[in-house]
């Protein structure tokens, strides 16, 4: 069996990760719209929201030049990611930054993934969604602005145009 040369997703750009986060967000919003039933304790929408938040933060960190291996080393710790994105210049509301820490302290990613019966100490759905939306909006602005800067031709001198008698357009 051949050895795997890189980690899955190792070469994804910030825009690639942002697109993936958007897909998770879309699925999460769909599932969150489904009313909760007490007879069905499993709530996959919660896991999708938390994972979308993680991916948005990853996209921001990649856009700021953080190595993929360093991001991977944080595992699912949203508190570490939250602190790093703030150090890198993202401004989060105090309540959102605190919620990222709480998500990690309560290990909500792991609980949502494996313990379908533990619902006592988890974030409310609307708080999860609000955190996801704030992080998304801040990341979208940054990553899209950076992508626009990369696509913009650098140091290309614009042509000057002038009309000469007879209606001819002259460029220099």
Residue 55 belongs to domain with CATH number: 1.20.120
Residue 162 confidence (pLDDT) above 50:
no
Residue 132 lies in a domain: yes
Question: Tell me, what's the pLDDT at 159?
Answer: 47
Residue 79 has pLDDT above 90, yes or no: yes
CA angle 43, 47, 48 (to 5 degrees): 110
The reply to whether 5 falls in a domain is: no
Q: Is residue 7 part of a domain?
A: no
> pLDDT tens across 100-156, in order?
999 999 999 988 888 766 666 888 889 999 999 999 999 998 877 777 766 655 544
**Contact between 171 and 159 (Cβ < 8 Å):** yes
Can you tell me the distance from the alpha carbon of 127 to that of 133, in angstroms, rounded to the nearest whole number? 10
Average pLDDT, the chain: 83
| Number of domains observed in the structure of the chain | 1
Residue 133: the pLDDT is 97
Please report the pLDDT score of residue 38 as a whole number: 61
Out of 31-40, 69-78, 111-120, 146-155, least confident range: 146-155
What is the percent of the chain with per-residue pLDDT over 90, rounded to a whole number?
55
pLDDT of 156: 44
Q: What residues contact 50, with CB distance under 8 A and at least 6 apart?
A: 76, 78, 103, 108, 109, 112, 128
In a domain, 9, yes or no: no
Cα separation of the two ends of the chain: 62
Average pLDDT over residues 76-102: 96
* pLDDT of amino acid 66: 94
Domain extent for 131:
14-171
- Regarding pTM above 0.85, the answer is no
Q: How far apart are CA 24 and CA 97, in angstroms?
A: 21
């Amino acid at each position: 069996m051949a050895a795997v040369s890189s980690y899955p997703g190792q070469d994804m750009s910030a825009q690639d990760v942002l697109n993936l986060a958007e897909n998770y967000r879309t699925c999460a919003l769909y599932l969150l719209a489904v009313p909760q039933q007490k007879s069905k304790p499993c709530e996959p929408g919660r896991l999708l929201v938390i994972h979308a938040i993680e991916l948005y933060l990853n996209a921001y960190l990649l856009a700021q030049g953080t190595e993929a291996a360093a991001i991977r080393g944080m595992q699912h710790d949203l508190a570490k990611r939250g602190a790093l994105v703030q150090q890198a210049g993202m401004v989060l509301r105090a309540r959102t930054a605190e919620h990222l820490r709480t998500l990690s302290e309560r290990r909500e990613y792991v609980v949502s993934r494996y313990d379908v019966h533990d619902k006592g100490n988890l974030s409310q759905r609307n708080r999860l969604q609000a955190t996801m939306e704030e992080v998304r909006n801040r990341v979208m602005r940054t990553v899209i602005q950076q992508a626009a800067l990369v696509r913009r031709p650098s140091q290309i001198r614009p042509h000057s145009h002038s009309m000469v008698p007879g209606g001819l357009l002259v460029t220099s």
